[in-house]
Amino acid sequence: MSHAEEDWTQLRSWGRLVERVEQLVGEGGFGAIGLQTLSRFRSPVILRGNARPNAPACDQDLFLVASLTKPVVAAATMTLVEAGVISLNQRVSEILPEWNRGERRRITMRQLLCHASGLPDQLPNNVELRNQQAPLDEFYRLTTEVPLDYSPGKGSRYQSMGYLTLGKLIEHLSGESLPAFVHRTIFEPLKMRNSYLGATGPHRSSVLNRVVDVQLPREQDGCTGHWNSDYWRSLGAPWGGMLSTPADVLTFCREMLACYHGAGTLLTAASVREMCAPQLEWYEEMPKRERRFRSWGLGWRHNWKTHAETFGDCLPPLTVGHWGATGCLMWIDMEAETAAVICSTVPSGESRSQLVRLSNLLHTTIQEFAMRTDLRSQA
């Protein structure tokens, strides 16, 4: 154990955090919880914790992190923006001709990234497609035909199918599959060796064996394409198919922090600052509710303070992060240079209150550690 890790264990908030995690995995029905917290990206101090009931904690456990996938796909998209391959206000229809009809011809890259395209979250026959083990190409074909929920740029509603479209754009422009592109541009340079956009290739079986099961929600009762199925874990859905560890997810968060402050290698500071900036305020016909209280960056959501799925009660409103429906959460406070990742196995619809309280404890621990470090440096 390093000196820094010893310091974590001496904090009162750390003791409360350990007690809460043990309670959740012992009596609260959580099959596994993994935690990672970062303070100061340049000389990082990292808090780690994994827990599973009646089994040793394992840093190699893979979690289906669901929509934590979206900021990763957004970062991959921004590598193409930086390379001059696409621009954010460019229309999708300029690249993919199947979008060149009706109002959908006006959908832009920026609108896909900030959930303002008018596309739905899921297709009406989503469950049927999963039961049929449909390929992503079939999901995409139907996405090009599904009616828009509203005119592009005139509203903002969560749209997973927008990220499916981004995935198709990346494949078309790069000539690679999306998993291969994300591996080459994100996972490999960041040494995220335990991250996969779908379990594929020669090591598929060994990867699948490492994924911890999620407690399935009621709407997936009787669905053969559920979260724990080999089909779903292998599909590589651009909106929610990433398999990863809390440590790897924190590595991604740390890189975003470093890039934001001009010390990263993946993207420029300008790109990451644009990803973190409120986007909906630039749409003239955007309703006030979405523009002011339901703010989005590019791939990142801001901390909706009064929403049930806030990132943390005392985190600033422009903290960026994302929830995953499988019971995962990550957030980054760019100005305070802190980040946190929580991966669990109870869907967020049933566990959000417990996970927000865990996030509060993580934030408190970071604050307590920073205060102790500052006092020590002044002594």
**pLDDT tens digit sequence for 140-154:** 999 999 999 999 999
Q: Tell me the percentage of the chain whose pLDDT exceeds 90.
A: 79
**Mean pLDDT score, 246-252:** 95
pLDDT in tens, 54-113: 555 567 889 999 999 999 999 999 999 999 999 999 999 999 999 999 999 999 999 999
Task: Tell me which residue has tokens 């404890």.
Answer: 361
pLDDT in tens, 273-310: 999 999 999 999 999 999 999 999 999 999 999 999 99
- Tell me the chain's radius of gyration from C-alpha atoms: 20
Residue length of the chain: 379
Number of domains in the chain: 1
Is residue 1 a part of any domain in this protein?
no
* Rounded Cα gap, residues 17 and 320, in angstroms: 23
User: How many CA atoms does the CB half-sphere of 353 hold within 13 Å?
Assistant: 2
Looking up residue 121, the CATH number of its domain turns out to be 3.40.710.10
Is residue 24 a part of any domain in this protein?
no
8 Å CB contact between 109 and 274: no
Confidence of residue 352 (pLDDT cuts 50, 70, 90): very high
Confidence of residue 48 (pLDDT cuts 50, 70, 90): low
Task: Tell me which residue has tokens 């005139």.
Answer: 154
8 Å CB contact between 65 and 324: yes
Is residue 119 a part of any domain in this protein?
yes
Is residue 233 a part of any domain in this protein?
yes
* Rounded Cα gap, residues 367 and 375, in angstroms: 12
3-state secondary structure of 246: helix
Of 6, 69, 8, 108, the residue nearest 249 (C-alpha) = 69
Of 255, 302, 253, the residue nearest 277 (C-alpha) = 302
Residue 372 confidence (pLDDT) above 80: no
DSSP 290: I
Q: What is residue 114's predicted lDDT score, i.e. its pLDDT?
A: 98
Is residue 35 a part of any domain in this protein?
no
Is residue 28 a part of any domain in this protein?
no
Domain of residue 76, residue span: 63-364
Q: What is residue 3's predicted lDDT score, i.e. its pLDDT?
A: 41
Of 293, 167, 295, the residue nearest 241 (C-alpha) = 167
8 Å CB contact between 173 and 80: yes
β-pairing, 242-244 with 196-197? antiparallel
Is residue 36 a part of any domain in this protein?
no
Is residue 7 a part of any domain in this protein?
no
Q: What is residue 199's predicted lDDT score, i.e. its pLDDT?
A: 96
* Rounded Cα gap, residues 360 and 145, in angstroms: 42
Q: In what order do the strands lie in the sheet with 196-197?
A: 63-64, 242-244, 196-197
- Looking at every residue in the chain, the average pLDDT score rounds to 92
Of 100, 81, 286, 98, the residue nearest 170 (C-alpha) = 81
pLDDT in tens, 167-208: 999 999 999 999 999 999 999 999 999 999 999 988 899 999
